[in-house]
Every structure is written in structure tokens, then in C-alpha cells.
A = this chain, B = another copy of it.
Amino acid sequence: MSDAILARRNRLMGPNVPTFYRDPVHIVRGQGVWLWDAAGNRYLDCYNNVAHVGHCHPRVVEAIARQSMTLNTHTRYLHEGVLDYLEQLTARLGHGISQGIMVCTGSEANDIALRMAQAVTGKTGIIATDNTYHGNTVATAALSTRRPPIGGYPPHVRLVPAPESLAPLGGSAERQADVFAENVAHAIADLEDSGFGFSGIMLCPFFANEGFPDLPADFLAPTARIVRAAGGLMLVDEVQPGFGRLGSHFWGHDRAGLVPDVVTVGKPMANGHPVAAVLARPDVMGAFRSAFGYFNTFGGNPVAAAAALATLQVMEEEGLQANARDTGAYALARLRALRHPAIAQARGAGLFLGLECVTDDGGPATAFATELVERMRQRGILMNRIGRHMNTLKIRPPMPFSRDNADLLVDTLGEVLAAMPTETADAG
């Protein structure tokens, strides 16, 4: 069955289309934190942050169905849905951020955020880390390091070394925040010298794609001072850490003590419906709206607004941020108690957790982490890997994840680890 589907994928989608796992899962049904494959096997979803309030949450499904049968058209007509949602969403943001543009994907949101920084500063130079992902458009993909674009990387982009847990910048955890900030300062100077000028820096405040390194609470303070002094904008990508996932705070930037100029949100915000947004202060929005014409046909249509509003309401009513905090702390404590020579660190916040795997000589144990993920998939637990060397387990389940779910996850992980070789040489 899976072979037939893979053959069809190859025929209809072409080569190099990403799938998860050596033996990809053919999922046909989802409910809460659970997924079922075509053979009826059940999987605990420990990865999917899109189904934020749980797969197929009846409240969100009902909101989508009800609004779809009533009206679904663009925002050049007046409709209260998009306004009701933006009111509720911006009410959860501080720092003067009170306006938004609704779009369909996080990529579209970040693509706009880059232009907001240009509109405010009149400059185009942009900084990101050297191990990140902020989207798949031409402009946002230029901030990724996967493959060089045709014609080379655009000359207005500077990528600074990402922070790390086990091999901190500058050689010590204490020095890392300053070294990161110094690299940002050098990139700013270089952009100014090269004529592009400095428009801003785009960061995930949790450094999710960088492997969510364990960092002190004020890690980004020196960077923020330098960015602010140089007149650049702080573009904060909340696609992964936002919407309460980190437990202690609704937003990753508030957990990091960071004052954003622009906030982008995506994946989890409508539980799978294609909804994203870019949020900004009125001065930033005004500059963008004066410099660029922008309209998004599907963005903020009544169904998108209804799906997003229902997701926010379910989060509130089911106390999902508090659950992320409490269950996350419980799960992290249990992960920290796991013992294996290859496990160098358990870390994370709320329901965004991971284990970094190392070889006997302390290097990244990519093959070990890969094998671990595959064995967990065979045991019915879905997770994946992240980080510069893809040697950190990424555990990021739907928000209704329970203590029982955490126990099943960690118990299974313990059993799988016990069966793994203790010598971990790694081909990388």
C-alpha cells in the first residue's frame, strides 16, 4: 500500500518530495494527540504543532463547517470575522503591537515582515542566523542555508552563527550572548558599509530550527540593544514558539524578554486551516501600507477568521497553555532522568522538548538520533530531529498532550534507548 502511494507520489509530485521516516506512515485519521494509519495502527503524535489544540478538534471543525456554508469571500467586502479575530489576537500582544494582516502561510507572513523593515528604514539589509528557516518564498528562503539559490545568495543578507547548547559561541555559555551580539554588530556594520543598510533582524525567539539551545533568560538582551541602537527592526518569528506552546508565556518573545517590532504567526493558529498573520505597531504597519500595495485573496476570509477564533477559544477554555507548562515540566523532568551514554542533554520549554545526542567523543550523533526516531516510529511514537547536525530529538506534540501521553512517550523512549548500542560512533 505504502509502496503504491510512494510510486504515485513520485509520478505526480516528482523527486525529492520530503517524507518522514524510512518507512513513511500512511495516516488516514486523527483525533486529539492520536493518529491512525491505513492498517488501523495507532500513533502518539509527538511532533505536529499544526494540530495545535488536537487533531480534528470538534469546535474548530464546527466553526469551519458553519462558516463555510454561510459565506467565504475576500476582505475587500466588510466582514466582522477578521476584525473579531484580530481584536482577540492583538489583545494578547504587548509592546504596542495592535494591527495585523492575515495571510495564508507563515512564509507569506515573513515575506511581508521583511518588507515592513524595509518600509520603516528605507534600507534592505537583513540578518538571520546561519541555521534557520523562515519560509519557502524566494525572499524568505534566502534566509535559509539549505541550498544556495541560482545566481548565489542575495547580497543584502547576512547570516550570523546560531547559538548552541553543547558548543556555545565563544567557547562558554557565559560568553555566548555577547559573542552572538558582537556577530550581529559586525553584520550590521558590513551591511551599512556595503550600501544596503540595516533594515532588521529576523529571529525565532526560541531558536526552534537552530535546535532550541538551552540559553539564559536574557540571552537576546545585548543583541536587542545593538539592533535598536542601529535603527533596525526586530522581526520575531513566532510560528513555532507562539500560542502558548512554551507554557510559561503565550509568546516566545515575552519568555525571552524581547521587544518585537513585528511578530509573525502561522502553523498552529487555526489548527491546520491555512492561516497566518503578520502583526505590528501602527507606525510600522502604516509605513508598510504606504510603501507597498498588498492584498491577499484568501487571507482573513470569514472561514479563516472563524477557524482561528475557534482555535484561540479552545486554547483558553481548555487551559492549554497551562497544560503545556505543567505537562511539559513533567515530561522534561522524566526526559532528564533518562540515562544513555549518547544522551548529552534534555532541554526545552513547555511542550517543545528534545534530547541532544552525542557520540563517544562528544560530537553530534546524527545516525544515533536517526535510528532512535525510526525505532520510536516502529513503536507507534511520532517525533523527529532538528539542529545543525540533526542530532537533537524534536518533541512538539499537540497542546492537549497529557501526563499519560508523556509517560507513554518517555517509557517507550527508555525502552528503545535501552536496546540501542551504547557505543555511538557516527558517520554524521
Interface residues of A (CB under 8 A from B): 2, 5-6, 8-9, 11-20, 24-30, 35, 48, 50-51, 55-56, 58, 60-61, 64-65, 68-80, 82-83, 86-87, 90, 98-101, 103-108, 111, 114-115, 118-119, 122-124, 136-139, 141, 144, 146-147, 149-151, 156, 196, 266-267, 271-274, 282, 285-286, 288-298, 301, 303-304
Report whether B69 and A58 are in contact in the complex, using a CB–CB cutoff of 8 Å. Answer: yes
A76 touches B124 (CB 8 A): no
> Would you list 6 pairs from A and B whose C-beta atoms are within 8 A, ordered by A residue?
A17-B289, A20-B77, A61-B68, A72-B272, A104-B274, A274-B274
Q: Which 8 A-B pairs have the closest CB atoms?
A: A138-B139, A14-B285, A65-B65, A274-B298, A72-B272, A118-B150, A16-B289, A104-B104
User: Which residues does chain B contribute within 8 Å of A6, judged by CB atoms?
Assistant: 78
Chain B residues with Cβ under 8 A from A83's Cβ? 5, 8-9, 12-13
In the complex the two chains form, what is the Cα distance from A106 to B14 in whole Å?
20
CA distance A64 to B266 in the complex (A): 20
Closest B residue by C-beta to A136: B294
Give the one of A51, A78, A80 with max B CB within 10 A: A78
Interface pair B101/A13, CB less than 8 Å apart: yes
Give the chain B neighbours of A17 by CB distance below 8 A. 75, 289
Complex contact B108–A124 (CB within 8 A): no
Tell me which of B29, B72, B295, B298 contacts A104 (CB under 8 A): B298
CB-nearest residue of chain B to A58:
B69
Q: A64-B68, A78-B5, A111-B138 in contact; A291/B150 too (CB < 8 A)? A: yes
Contact of A30 with B286 at beta-carbon distance under 8 Å, contacts A14-B99, A105-B297, A141-B292 already known = no
> Which of A20, A98, A108, A136 lies at the interface centre, i.e. has the most chain B CB atoms within 10 A of its CB?
A136
List the B side residues contacting A303 at CB < 8 Å: 272-273
Residues in chain B near residue A137, CB distance under 8 A: 108, 111, 137-139
Taking the closest CB of chain B, its distance from the CB of A218, in whole angstroms, is 32
* Least CB separation from A115: chain B residue: B138
A9-B78 contact given A138-B114, A282-B14, CB 8 Å threshold: yes
Tell me whether B24 and A77 are in contact (CB under 8 A).
yes
Besides A137-B139, A147-B293, A273-B303, 10 other A-B contacts (C-beta < 8 A): A8-B80, A12-B87, A15-B290, A35-B71, A105-B297, A123-B151, A138-B138, A146-B293, A150-B291, A274-B304
Q: How far is the CA of A105 from the CA of B107 in the complex (A)?
A: 11
Q: Which of chain B's residues has its CB closest to A294's CB?
A: B136
Q: Is the CB of A150 within 8 A of B138?
A: no
**In the assembly, what is the distance between CA of A77 and CA of B149, in Å?**
27
Are B289 and A15 in touch, CB under 8 angstroms? yes
State whether A286 touches B56 (Cβ < 8 A).
no
Partner pick for A107 among B30, B108, B289, CB 8 A cutoff: B108
Chain B residues, CB < 8 A from A71: 27-30, 35, 55-56
Q: Give A88 to B103 CA distance when docked, in angstroms.
A: 28
Residues of B within 8 A of A35 (CB): 71, 73, 77
**For the complex, what is the distance from the CA of A6 to the CA of B18, rounded to whole Å?**
44
Bound form: Cα–Cα A56–B48 in Å: 30
Closest CB of chain B to A283's CB: distance in Å?
A: 10
A301 to B275, alpha carbons, bound, how many Å? 13
Please measure, in the bound complex, the distance between the C-alpha atom of A385 and the C-alpha atom of B119, giving whole angstroms. Answer: 29
* Inter-subunit contact B16/A298 (CB<8 Å): no
B27 touches A136 (CB 8 A): no
Contact: A78 with B151, CB < 8 Å?
Answer: no
Q: Which of A51, A58, A69, A294 has the most CB of B within 10 A?
A: A69
